[in-house]
Structure 1
Amino acid sequence: MSKYIIYIFVGLCLLNSSKAKAIDEQNGTGKLFNQAVFHGQTISVAEGQNLGNRSAINPSQTHMVISSPTEETKGYNSGAVYLFEKVNGEWQEISRLLPPWQKQNLYFGISVAISDTWIAVGMPVLGGPWGGQVLIYDLNGQLVNVISEGNTVDAEFGFELDIYQDSIIVSAKKANLTGRVWIYQYNESSQIWQGQELINPMPQNFAEFGTQVKFNQTGNLALVTASFHDFNGVNNAGIAHLYSLSNGTWQHLTTLEPSLPFTNGNLGYKADFSSEVIALNQGFLTGATNDDMVFIYEKDVNDDWVQTEVFHEFGYDARYGFNVSVDDTKLVVVQNPGVQINYRSGYNQWTHQEAFDPNSIDSSVNSFGSGSVFFTDDFLVGSSFANGVTFLEQLNNLNLSGGCSNPVFCQWHVQDRVDRSDISDSRIGDQFGVSVDVSGDMAVIGVYADDDKGENAGAVYVYRYQPFINGNQWFTVSKLYASDGKSGDQFGRHVAIDEDRILIGAYLDDVFSNDTNTDVVEAGSVYVFENVNEQWIETQKIHSEEGTDGTDDRFGFAFDFNQSRLLVGAYQDDENGQNSGAVYAYVWTGSQYVFTEKIMPMDGQVGDGFGYSVSLDGNKAIIGAYLADAPGLNVGAAYIYNWLIPPINGWIEQDKLLPSSAVVNSDTVFGAAVSISNDIAVVGAPKHELSPINDVDRGTVFVFQKDTQSNTWDQIQALSANDNQDSAQFGRSVSLEGNRLLVGAWLHDFINPNNNVFIDAGSAFFYRWNPIGGDFQTGGWQLGAELTAAFPTQQSVFGHAVAVSEEKLLIGAHRTGSTNFYFGNAEYFVDDMIFATGF
């Protein structure tokens, strides 16, 4: 019983914050439904997510890597790394590095390092049954080696690493409970990386030996911290170890102990060092005031490492030591906000520069240095967990080596920035959410303007539902592309999923014709993907075989499928006259779809646009011809088809549906959206008017039901938005499953409680079938909730695409974002049966 109490509590919390307006009303003599529709999650593109978590520049300062460890191209938190080259003084992306697997929680890029020859990327694989890896690339972004260690599952191998020339140091801070560290040397003759494990002189369970690992600038010293080491009875005081390279072997040199140990001090949680200076933070994790410090150790004339300084920020919790970077002449310490710099002129000779906040220089610079921080020859470089990389330049460069007694002479400015808008996989303009579909615990969302394969080539994200994990419910499984994708295809303009099969339309794809040895322009294609061992694999590409006759047919603009059959619309097919339209029928053979027939209405005419919308349920289908001219210009029509077994063995036109209304104006576009389930069919007419005079595109959805006696389809209801708002285009999208119906009104204006109007924000309207006397065959649709985005914005067109599967409702808003920079998102809602039925 307790779990139901928890669910109800969570539901009440969601209801309190939801943008779903509950509608409680009696419809005729039917049963009263108290609808409860909760907003579950806003789903958005995670490309470039946490860009700047780590960054590094090679010693020659020609190449830079920036990590995005929670990017979701290969799955939830799968990660990515962006490789840049400096060309004519400008940083230009030359490659995007992705993990080799399609899996969740790989965290590829949680650590990165770069030399003048190699790029090292850590992939610790958190929380999964696989060991971590370090992937080695050349400076062109080509994968050349993979380093792994056996028995490192959950060891976080690769969580930290560093590189010097042909040497890489890698930690697995949770291996064997104590933590382990290896140093690998590249063998040019064998072209493999040969490893030596460093001896831990003070092994201790849960000490996380390998919390930080670093080389000095000459590569003959290595620093390893164990920031959770218990020291002299003080829990998690922290400790550090220094190693030296002697005759090709790494040996323990000395241990650096905390001089002011305290519980949870975690000495060395952040660390850096050079040939003469070591910097270890302490107290950063406590969150308390007066205990954030950075300990400085320096090499004296006897080559002994001696603690010489403790830098701190007393009086308030500035998170001093959030990150540290040091060389022989300067130390930079990150705090919140800003940084503090100390210059070194010799042994234990430090000059402090007052703290400054880069955000005060440029408001776009947030959390400078929280990811990485370091000096180059000319710049102070800092990356943040979500804000890219910033290059700060000191106006008086003399101060870089001298110190600054007067802040007037120490002015900094932003010389360059690289952020999410600069990466090839930027979500800006992608229009995520232009299409959506749901099947069970899987969902697909189209991003038809994604540029990874070329401008507006398109892509599709695949999600899996996992209830209430870290506040989310939908997690990225994969990002799909057409194998031959190219600019302008708009792959993902339409999507559909059923069990372990996904179909994706690229209606502007130019299809190569063997007959003419040329591309058929905008013929269109549909791609089939199947789930093979949890990997979504493209298994088939489908297009019409009509050669140049298929030019501009837009095959794949709409389609629907089940496990046996597939119908694909080509609404500008010309066989019945220019742009009359057609639908191509296929059957599944067990391994692929095979073409069976081309469907065209018996009364098809020029310009009908037959196939603009398609819906399939078992052996029944409905196809929209949104520009058909009977009973008026561009009024539209919809056709019902049945699949009949032998002797006919094909699709037979059963009925033609037309809007039955007191007012049917021209340009109603009845059939712009269709959906069918059991013996109910719904047809969207987004420009239908309620007045013979006004032309305001309010929109209507017409409901038809099959008469089992006559086998005809009769209109039983006409639905419209409860406020009949002008220009809302109610019915632009429809999705019907069983007793649930979802209708999109993509241009509906949202008006908040302060009467602020968000033009074209969009809405969706959720209905439930209300049977009369318990008989499903009699009744009607009752409005349950008006849904809006969690944070409505102007012109986001929420409701352009809708999908319903059981209790799950998914709604796209592909123009979320500013004009010309639409990134888009999708909103997930839950139709909660506990509240809807009262138990």
Structure 2
Amino acid sequence: MNCSARVLLGPLVFFAATVQAAYVLPESKRVAFDGNESDAFGWSIAVDGSHAVISADGSNDQGLDSGAVYLMDTATGTLTSKLTPDDGEAGDSFGWNVGLRAATAIVGAPHDDDLGFNAGSAYLFDASTGEMLHKLTASDGQQGDLFGVNVAVDGNLALVGASNRTEQGSRAGAAYLFDVTTGLQLAKLVPDDSAENGLFGGAVALSGNRALVGAYGDGEFSGAAYLFDTTTGAQLAKLTPNDAAANDYFGFSLAIEGDLALIGAFGDDDNGHNSGAAYLFDALTGEQRAKLVAIDGAAGDGLGRAVALSGPMAMLGAYWDSDQGDRAGSAYVFEVASTAQVAKLVARDGQPDDFFGESVALSGSTAIVGAWGDDTAGATAGAVYLIDLDQVVNVPEPATVVAVSWLSVALVMARRGSTARLFAKR
């Protein structure tokens, strides 16, 4: 099946099978127990099993914008503790990005100044006890690197991006591998074609012996992503979409699980300027499998600003979706095997500038969506929504997907005029 057919299949199924948005239940909403104005709780989220890490990088506990993270028990939805580093200071932005695997959490602080202004750092924590394990810095760290702008952890490896590092030019970027047990740096990753303003390391992900690193500034911000072997540090492939275009921001967000990679391109224009999209790639061969777009996508939605991948499901955030007001936001769920869009999530109490969907996390059927602009606990204090996808998603079997899609062709052809008017109004 060619790429265009795969893209078409998902939206058609959604039109026939899920006409209404799946609204998030009000009781699924959580705000920080000590939330304050401008905390931006929900700015970054990671979940694995019964553990979740939620950042509030605007928290002022250790000075203005020093940052903090919260641990959540996803079984109960309870925020169990709040973490700050031993040496946190004003402006560190601790929690700019977070990662989690099993009971190990990693937290980026890209504005930490230990090695120079905005050189950056990252911290490892035990997510069960809240104990700080290690502080990570680059062996060659220097001013302005923004080490910690994006972080990931899997098994005994941690990966930290430094998107502003000067390598083969200003802001070419780099990424660093660490041993979780010892905190020691194992390798430094840079692409074979490292170039000025590539912003390599702006997004990172780990799975087994594969590291995936985004470089969304590559090629006039058309973007790229790179696969590396974590054992050897060797570059395996450079990933770019078949329909790459300037300012797509491909690689701004990404996820990897086993032999599958999911890469966001929130600047893609298929459904209008910056409507957004995401791509599925084979993480073993580097081949593109499919492109995911929303059936109701519209200009400015920014689909793919955040992405998450777990088992049969993929989740894409559309942080500027305007169903409930300008930039209220939404999140979409896709079934990976068929690429069918199976649900759209919006907050029942969504408001303009909530930015619901700027962060998303997924583990099994447990999803968490951040809305850092939520005002419940104060202006932009932030909130998150804990969602059981089993309650809102009915994934069709592959045979059903094909059957429904042919019915959908007729429906779309019959309603093409009204759909065009809908996009025009947006």
TM-score (norm 1): 0.38
Whether the 8 Å contact between 1:130 and 1:153 is mirrored in structure 2 is: yes
Distance 1:396 1:56, change over 3 A: closer
Distance 1:237 1:98, change over 3 A: same
Distance 1:123 1:57, change over 3 A: same
Given the alignment of the two structures, is residue 73 of structure 1 paired with residue 61 of structure 2, yes or no? yes
Given the alignment of the two structures, is residue 54 of structure 1 paired with residue 44 of structure 2, yes or no? yes
Higher strand share: 1
Alignment of 1:36-47 (within 5 A): 46=36
Partner Cα distance (1:279, 1:115) in 2? 18
Whether the 8 Å contact between 2:370 and 2:385 is mirrored in structure 1 is: yes
SS at match of 1:249: coil
1:398 deviates by 7.9
Alignment of 1:501-650 (within 5 A): none
Counterpart of 1:368, as a letter, is: F
Whether the 8 Å contact between 2:110 and 2:119 is mirrored in structure 1 is: yes
Higher helix share: 2
Distance 1:376 1:288, change over 3 A: closer
Given the alignment of the two structures, is residue 307 of structure 1 paired with residue 307 of structure 2, yes or no? no
Aligned to 1:711: none
Q: 1:110 aligns with which of 96, 100, 122?
A: 96
Whether the 8 Å contact between 2:268 and 2:277 is mirrored in structure 1 is: no
Counterpart of 1:280, as a letter, is: I
Aligned to 1:210: 201
Aligned to 1:333: 316
1:304 deviates by 1.9
1:170 deviates by 0.2
Aligned to 1:184: 178
Aligned to 2:82: 96
Aligned to 2:185: 194
SS at match of 2:304: coil
Partner Cα distance (2:144, 2:271) in 1? 30
Higher relative contact order, chain-length normalized (CA < 8 Å, sep 6+)? 2
Q: Show CA shifts across 1:59-108 (max 9, x none).
A: xx23222110011121111111112346xx42444432124346331101
User: Computing the radius of gyration over CA atoms, which structure comes out larger, 1 or 2?
Assistant: 1
Alignment of 1:467-482 (within 5 A): none
Aligned to 1:163: 153
Alignment of 1:434-833 (within 5 A): none
Distance 1:295 1:57, change over 3 A: closer
Q: Show CA shifts across 1:596-641 (max 9, x none).
A: xxxxxxxxxxxxxxxxxxxxxxxxxxxxxxxxxxxxxxxxxxxxxx
In the alignment, structure 2 segments of 5+ residues that lack a partner are 1-34, 322-328, 374-381, 405-426
Partner Cα distance (1:309, 1:395) in 2? 24
Given the alignment of the two structures, is residue 271 of structure 1 paired with residue 259 of structure 2, yes or no? no
Partner Cα distance (1:351, 1:286) in 2? 20
Given the alignment of the two structures, is residue 352 of structure 1 paired with residue 341 of structure 2, yes or no? yes
Partner Cα distance (2:152, 2:396) in 1? 26
Q: 2:394 aligns with which of 371, 374, 399?
A: 399
Whether the 8 Å contact between 1:272 and 1:278 is mirrored in structure 2 is: yes
Partner Cα distance (1:108, 1:271) in 2? 21
Q: Show CA shifts across 1:511-551 (max 9, x none).
A: xxxxxxxxxxxxxxxxxxxxxxxxxxxxxxxxxxxxxxxxx
SS at match of 1:202: coil
Counterpart of 2:369, as a letter, is: G
Partner Cα distance (2:123, 2:189) in 1? 20
Distance 1:322 1:130, change over 3 A: closer
Q: 2:367 aligns with which of 380, 388, 397?
A: 380
SS at match of 1:53: strand
Counterpart of 1:317, as a letter, is: G
Partner Cα distance (2:78, 2:44) in 1? 18
Aligned to 1:320: 303
SS at match of 1:162: strand
1:46 deviates by 4.0
Aligned to 1:807: none
RMSD of the TM alignment (CA)? 3.1
Partner Cα distance (1:206, 1:287) in 2? 25
1:288 deviates by 9.4
Aligned to 1:132: 120
Whether the 8 Å contact between 2:173 and 2:201 is mirrored in structure 1 is: yes
Partner Cα distance (1:62, 1:401) in 2? 27
SS at match of 1:318: coil
1:351 deviates by 2.2
Partner Cα distance (2:94, 2:387) in 1? 28
Counterpart of 1:147, as a letter, is: L
1:358 deviates by 2.3
Partner Cα distance (2:367, 2:187) in 1? 34
Partner Cα distance (1:186, 1:379) in 2? 26
Percent same amino acid among aligned pairs?
18
Whether the 8 Å contact between 1:343 and 1:402 is mirrored in structure 2 is: no
Whether the 8 Å contact between 1:220 and 1:244 is mirrored in structure 2 is: yes
Partner Cα distance (1:144, 1:220) in 2? 23
SS at match of 2:214: strand
Given the alignment of the two structures, is residue 147 of structure 1 paired with residue 139 of structure 2, yes or no? no
Q: Show CA shifts across 1:145-186 (max 9, x none).
A: 111124322110011000112210001110112111011123
Partner Cα distance (1:56, 1:220) in 2? 20
Aligned to 1:281: 264
Partner Cα distance (2:155, 2:101) in 1? 6
Counterpart of 1:204, as a letter, is: A
Counterpart of 2:130, as a letter, is: G
1:140 deviates by 1.2
1:400 deviates by 4.9
Distance 1:53 1:287, change over 3 A: farther
Aligned to 1:237: 222
Whether the 8 Å contact between 1:57 and 1:65 is mirrored in structure 2 is: yes
Whether the 8 Å contact between 2:292 and 2:339 is mirrored in structure 1 is: no
Partner Cα distance (2:271, 2:333) in 1? 23
Counterpart of 1:306, as a letter, is: E
1:271 deviates by 1.8
Counterpart of 1:107, as a letter, is: S
Distance 1:344 1:102, change over 3 A: closer
Aligned to 1:83: 71
Whether the 8 Å contact between 1:228 and 1:236 is mirrored in structure 2 is: yes
Q: Show CA shifts across 1:769-797 (max 9, x none).
A: xxxxxxxxxxxxxxxxxxxxxxxxxxxxx
Partner Cα distance (2:366, 2:101) in 1? 18
Partner Cα distance (1:156, 1:253) in 2? 25
Distance 1:186 1:277, change over 3 A: closer
Alignment of 1:11-50 (within 5 A): 46=36, 49-50=39-40
Whether the 8 Å contact between 2:57 and 2:95 is mirrored in structure 1 is: yes
Partner Cα distance (1:92, 1:351) in 2? 32
Whether the 8 Å contact between 1:209 and 1:227 is mirrored in structure 2 is: yes
Partner Cα distance (1:205, 1:156) in 2? 15
Partner Cα distance (1:111, 1:292) in 2? 24
In the alignment, structure 1 segments of 5+ residues that lack a partner are 1-44, 407-839
Counterpart of 2:99, as a letter, is: A
1:113 deviates by 1.6
Counterpart of 1:264, as a letter, is: N
Whether the 8 Å contact between 1:207 and 1:228 is mirrored in structure 2 is: yes
1:367 deviates by 3.6
SS at match of 2:252: coil
1:320 deviates by 1.9
1:395 deviates by 5.7
TM-score (norm 2): 0.71
Distance 1:120 1:396, change over 3 A: closer
Partner Cα distance (1:56, 1:330) in 2? 16
1:357 deviates by 3.6
Partner Cα distance (2:265, 2:362) in 1? 22
Partner Cα distance (2:363, 2:149) in 1? 24
1:261 deviates by 2.8
